[in-house]
A and B are shown apart, each in its own frame.
Chain A
């Protein structure tokens, strides 16, 4: 791949990858490292990808795997397949209220959601990827993505509601908690 093509690839995807990494890693330094590591892997291996149209999915998958690899090394990952259904009576938050929040506050709310929901939610809100691509990146069935999106949004609304009140964050089910 030429320098020009590589620059174009970086320009097209690095910001979205960084946002995904920031949501996962929760701090800018680790997010930057993850993003850079993803393109490093591309530079050394990704050029063998035959279908360049799949580069975006490849990059997100690689970043996600790198994140899991790093966390696994730190012993913080606990396998989990699913969680009990989210409580449906969590406080809701009005759209107008969220619209008044700045990006940092919304990001903080997102970061406080358990990883199992945060992963698909972040990819969904980046809007670059379909639910099918999200399922591919996270290596879970499509139905699981939909389920986690549905319940993740309930959790996100609850977190945002608490942020709006300026109160403490709600706790969610701890069983098998992953992040």
Chain B
């Protein structure tokens, strides 16, 4: 490679060093090492390129452009039920993996929004939940209320999401959506209640309609909704213990 060829290649060599690992520049850079004149040329070239790049980076988009893009994107994306988003499908995939070591069954309307919510809550508990440390003191009253609530629970959950928010309740991301999680003990077993506001996308099931169940091994989940919220209750105490509450 002569100097002219080396210059031709090195004209595409970015001044920030991003191309340092690209073998296509290797021979040209070796030539630079051998030839001081070429080295001087490259130094000048890179200095010039660095200044121009710096000036270009200083051009800022209009301040409202990002918000406009985000708003436009939200309005433009194909609409579909959040409960059937790719993240839900990922959760379902996790369930499928778990199913290789245990039996899985769904009852109720398989494939309904509530089934998806139950499956996702089940996957969350199985894969991410660690312990019950650090629960805010503000939620102690609610935990006690759930521990002693009249059964069946689905008729009396009556969760105020505002209370959970004010009480700094832990939230988890299910299907890209923030869902409150509150844990409580009942009859010596831990139960995990996931709650989120209903939206139009989750209205595939009707209030008071069938409760959706899912279970993997000894872990069981049920999902239902009331006029305002959608819930999933999950326990590792098994399906019998779960059905006793709802």
Q: Which residues on A are within 8 Å of B, measured CB to CB?
A: 1-7, 10-11, 14-15, 18-19, 22-23, 28, 32, 35-36, 39-40, 42-44, 47, 95, 98-99, 101-104, 106-107, 110, 122, 124-127, 130-131, 145-147, 149-150, 153, 156-157
Contact = CB atoms under 8 A, between A and B. Distances in A.
Nearest to A11: B66
Contacts of A5: 176
Contacts of A19: 56-57, 59, 61
Interface size class of B (residues with CB under 8 A): 35 or more
Contact of B73 (A6, A104, A130, A150): A6
Nearest to A98: B51
Contacts of A156: 52
Given A14-B69, A35-B69, A44 B18 contact: no
B85 A2 contact: yes
B72 interface: yes
Contacts of A106: 52, 55-56
B14 A36 contact: no
Nearest to B12: A131
Given A40-B76, A95-B51, A157-B48, 12 more contacts: A6-B70, A7-B70, A10-B73, A39-B73, A98-B51, A106-B52, A110-B52, A124-B14, A125-B56, A130-B14, A146-B12, A153-B11
A25 B60 CA distance: 15
A109 B30 CA distance: 33
Nearest to A105: B55
A77 to B, nearest CB: 24
A152 B116 CA distance: 55
Contacts of B8: 146-147, 150
A31 to B, nearest CB: 8
A126 B16 CA distance: 10
29 contacts: A2-B175, A4-B176, A7-B70, A10-B66, A14-B61, A14-B65, A19-B61, A22-B59, A32-B62, A35-B61, A39-B69, A40-B73, A42-B73, A43-B77, A44-B77, A95-B51, A103-B56, A106-B55, A107-B55, A122-B56, A125-B49, A125-B56, A126-B53, A127-B14, A127-B16, A131-B12, A131-B19, A146-B12, A153-B49
B1 interface: no
Interface in B10-65: 11-12, 14-16, 18-19, 22, 44-45, 47-49, 51-53, 55-62, 65
B155 to A, nearest CB: 33
Contacts of B44: 95
Contacts of B73: 6, 10, 39-40, 42-43
Nearest to B9: A146
